[in-house]
Amino acid sequence: MSAETAHYVTLNTLQFALKIPFIGWLIRKQYQSNADASYRFVGIDFPNRVGLAAGFDKNAKYLDVMKALGFGHVEIGTVTPLPQPGNDKPRLFRLIPDRAIINRMGFNNDGVERIVERLKNRPKGLIVGGNIGKNKVTANELAVDDYRKCFLALYPHVDYFTVNVSSPNTPGLRALQDKGPLTEILMALMGLRKTFVENGHKQLPILLKIAPDLNQDQLNDIVALTLETGIDGIVATNTTIDRDGLTSAYEHIGAGGLSGDPVYKKSTMVLNHLNQAFEGKVPLIGVGGISSVVEAKGKLAAGAGLVQLYTGFIYEGPALVKACQKL
């Protein structure tokens, strides 16, 4: 079974199992958060400090499953204005000896309108973040319009936003991390948020997700831009294009973002650099290579307030979520 097929077979099986009264009750009882695990972050009370990173539940189809397995928050998406199929298959590859994954999914999702319809029935008690991006066919010069569209549509239905300009799987997307285009996008969203608040809506946090492959100057630009725009925090980090240290044969796979154990050190160094540059005053979410409680604690020690799982969850299962709830 291909990795992508296995992903959806597993999720659909779990979703079906939750509908069986006794089995559903048993799963929820096993993995539910303790009341004392709650944590306040960017003005929101999270049930616990462990969340599901963007890319796992792109279309907000499995929020009930993720809540039952003990996640305190789920970041859906990346959501784009229009539906798009993503890149050609196969596009998801397991590197089992390295406990890693390479993906080049390409923002495959159902589009913001269909995702909004699902969010109208989201489970209570689960924090949901909206990870937003641009369509592949949208030129970078017009990217700000795609981010605006997603922001406007999702605002009444999510708890916070993450701006994704760091995926390596949409051509040219990472160029939006440059100071000029990124300033335009973030300032546009901050302006829209101000309008929402003036019309009686709650002020939702806006975070920026960055790549682990930025150099020192680029990281310093991110720090300056965060302070200049007044966004609420950083998600560090996305997948890497680096292949250093892999023991698995990967040459036949081709392009894609690498996640899992090999990215832990690199992503944590970025996290620590940001925390020091911000003097601990800007909220950070730590993502990348967490496959044990020790590594999750390493992210917290580097400055993260919350952690997110993806590849570690695939390899370790929900027991990792349960263990990380105690952070």
Active site residues: 167
Structure tokens at 122: 């989201």
Which residues, in sequence order, are bridge partners of residue 234? 208, 284
Could you tell me the CA-to-CA distances from 148 to 78, 151, 155, 193 in Å, in that order?
A: 14, 5, 10, 10
Backbone angles phi, psi at 113, to 5 degrees: -65, -50
Determine which helix (DSSP H) or strand (DSSP E) holds 151, and give its type and residue range: helix 143-154
Structure tokens at 110: 């159902």
Block residue for tokens 């540059």: 277
Q: How far is the C-alpha of 200 from the C-alpha of 202, rounded, in Å?
A: 7
Q: How far is the C-alpha of 189 from the C-alpha of 93, rounded, in Å?
A: 34
Determine which helix (DSSP H) or strand (DSSP E) holds 284, and give its type and residue range: strand 284-287
Which residues, in sequence order, are bridge partners of residue 39? 46
Q: Which residues contact 310 (CB under 8 A, 6 or more apart)?
A: 52, 53, 55, 56, 101, 259, 287
First to last CA, the chain: 35
Structure tokens at 34: 């303790």
Structure tokens at 260: 């899992």
Minimal CA–CA distance to 69: which of 291, 293, 322?
Answer: 322
Q: How many CB atoms lie within 10 A of CB 194?
A: 11
Name the amino acid, one letter, at 107.
Answer: F
Determine which helix (DSSP H) or strand (DSSP E) holds 74, and give its type and residue range: strand 73-79
Phi-psi region of 230 (alpha: psi -120 to 50; beta: other; left: phi over 0): left
Q: How far is the C-alpha of 170 from the C-alpha of 304, rounded, in Å?
A: 27
